[in-house]
Amino acid sequence: MKKPLLATLAALMGLQAAPALAENYEVNLTRKGSNVYKIDGKDIIIQTRYCYVYAYSEEAIFKTSGYGGEVIFFDSKDKCDVKAVFGLSKQKPGKYVVTVSHEDDDWYEVFGTSSYIKTSSCLSLALGEEAYLTIANSGFGRLRFKDGNDCMVEGVYTKLRL
């Protein structure tokens, strides 16, 4: 059985496999928004479905299987379905016109791509709305909507295959 995500994650991010099974990974997760968790020390975002765990560097097991996966938090014993996994994209500095839709808190899908924008304290509920994305040399930037709403961009992420 092919496991492209496992190979991609291991090669790109250097995750350590849990000793029990090759498809289980021990990770520390921090909640970055509704259904958005970041693996501490890695440029990987895990998007979940209906996950309400308020984690701050909480130990968890990230299980991958076929087309999906789940996260199991050690402290709370909560299990959450994984919708997708994202790696930080090395977006070239510049100004871009993008069409975005609000997915979750501070998480916007870029229409027509497999890219997502992670913002900070962004209140726009955009649905197929054109916006201006500015990326600085640091990788951070701004997402500005036509209504004047301006959001700080923490990074542009690309969906990894499970």
Model pLDDT, residue 148: 84
Question: How many domains, in total, are found in the chain?
Answer: 2
40, 61, 88 - which closes a domain? 88
In this structure, are strands 141-145 and 150-160 parallel, antiparallel, or unpaired?
A: antiparallel
- Residue 158 tokens read as 């690309």
Q: Are residues 103 and 66 in the same domain?
A: no
In this structure, are strands 150-160 and 115-120 parallel, antiparallel, or unpaired?
A: antiparallel
- Residue 115 tokens read as 């890219």
Residues of the domain holding 116: 94-160
The predicted model gives 71-96 an average pLDDT of: 92
> CA torsion 7→8→11→17, rounded to 10°?
-50
Q: Are residues 53 and 110 in the same domain?
A: no
Which of 21-25, 69-73, 74-78 is predicted with the least confidence, judged by mean pLDDT?
21-25
Q: Are residues 116 and 45 in the same domain?
A: no
Model pLDDT, residue 114: 84
Per-chain mean pLDDT for the chain: 84
Q: Are residues 135 and 154 in the same domain?
A: yes
In order of 52, 73, 75, the CA distances from 79 in angstroms are 10, 7, 11
